[in-house]
A and B are shown apart, each in its own frame.
Chain A
Amino acid sequence: VSKRILVVEDQEDLRAILRDFLSASGYTVSEATDGAESVARRM
């Protein structure tokens, strides 16, 4: 099972770059654009 990382970044491109890099490095990535969404994603 791969480790999970939650990326919280409001700028779409920077979020995509982090997501692509981390998933290419073998992590399962969840994304959120702000604090509230990141709390929701953690549930």
Chain B
Amino acid sequence: VAQAFPNLSPAELSQAQAVIAIENTRLFNEIAQKSRELEIASQYKSQFVANMSHELRTPLAAMLGYAELMQEGIYGALPEKSLPILMRIRANGKHLLGLINTVLDISKIEAGQFKLNLAEYALGSIVETVMGATESLAATKRLAFKAEVAGERPYGLGDEQRLTQVVLNLVGNAIKFACEVRIAAGAANGHFTVSVSDTGPGIPPEECENIFEKFRQVDSSNTRAKGGTGLGLAIAREIVEMHGGRIWVESTLGQGSTFRMELPVRASAATGTT
């Protein structure tokens, strides 16, 4: 202030400085207050989306249920041509349910309501479940699909359903972009490791961290062609970190990507809720 106003007396200067200091404090408090308000508004929004997603699931479950019973002939014989259509109705319904579940997960994370159900699980059964769920998709795309579960494996403590969701997401992504997919799982030094390798187009180095952020996809022009919400990996990272583990990707452009995760064999109760 002294340099800007050389003609001011020392008394006038210190008075001006005091006024500025008071004004700065006022502005600072105002910003702090505004950001508290924004945080609260954002929590209300997340809570609303969580409630809404739950409400969306109920009628969808009814539609899927009726379609399944109809397909099984419980309401009488159907014309042959309608059977594949019922299958399409069910496939689209299940897809929609998957999207709603994704939105529900992300809004729970944002509202701080995402909880783990810790229990004993076997790493091998997670890999088996994922293989079972993706085999037919891999077969339709005629891609090579292999899984190896190595070595002696203790029982883990974690949320089996959520960890299955993570591996399923990684394998689902790999199948979308590659013609060869390999899952490897094992245990070493108190940690489980799972890797999902593909021979896809690869991920540019500057994107390797970004893809774990919400709404981020490597090439958003791909979104229409390949689908996906851009939320899967953000949810995967949250689940893995809540277990006290970490997840990352190693990739070479033009050769493929390997997604790796490392989990403590027994997640501590502090990171999750039983």
In the bound complex, what is the Cα–Cα distance between A20 and B72 (angstroms)?
A: 11
B221 interface residue, CB < 8 Å from A? no
- Complex interface residues of chain B between 34 and 61 (CB less than 8 A to chain A): 58-59, 61
Min C-beta distance of B65 to chain A, whole Å: 4
Q: Are A14 and B69 in contact (CB under 8 A)?
A: no
- Other-chain contact of B74, A11, A14, A24 (Cβ < 8 Å): A24
In the bound complex, what is the Cα–Cα distance between A11 and B74 (angstroms)?
A: 20
Min C-beta distance of B87 to chain A, whole Å: 18
Majority-rule SS of B interface residues: helix
Q: Are B62 and A20 in contact (CB under 8 A)?
A: no
- Chain B contacts for A20, CB-based, 8 A: 69, 74-75
- Given A20-B74, A21-B74, A24-B74: A11 touches B69 (CB 8 Å cut-off): no
B155 interface residue, CB < 8 Å from A? no
The number of chain B residues with a CB under 8 A from chain A is 10
In the bound complex, what is the Cα–Cα distance between A21 and B71 (angstroms)?
A: 12
- Other-chain contact of A11, B62, B66, B72, B75 (Cβ < 8 Å): B62
Of listed B59, B61, B65, B72, residue having the most chain A CB within 10 A: B65
Min C-beta distance of A2 to chain B, whole Å: 16
Which residue from chain A places its CB closest to the CB of B72 in the assembled complex?
A: A24
- Complex interface residues of chain A between 7 and 43 (CB less than 8 A to chain B): 11, 13-14, 17, 20-21, 24
Q: Are B66 and A13 in contact (CB under 8 A)?
A: yes
Task: Give per-residue flags for B63-95: 1 if the beta carbon is below 8 A from chain A beta carbons, else 0.
Answer: 001100100101100000000000000000000
In the bound complex, what is the Cα–Cα distance between A31 and B219 (angstroms)?
A: 52
Closest 6 interchain pairs by CB?
A13-B62, A17-B65, A24-B74, A20-B69, A20-B74, A21-B69
Interface residues of A (CB under 8 A from B): 11, 13-14, 17, 20-21, 24
List, sorted by A's number, 22 A–B pairs whose CB atoms are closer than 8 Å.
A11-B58, A11-B62, A13-B59, A13-B62, A13-B65, A13-B66, A14-B58, A14-B61, A14-B62, A14-B65, A17-B62, A17-B65, A17-B66, A17-B69, A20-B69, A20-B74, A20-B75, A21-B69, A21-B74, A24-B69, A24-B72, A24-B74
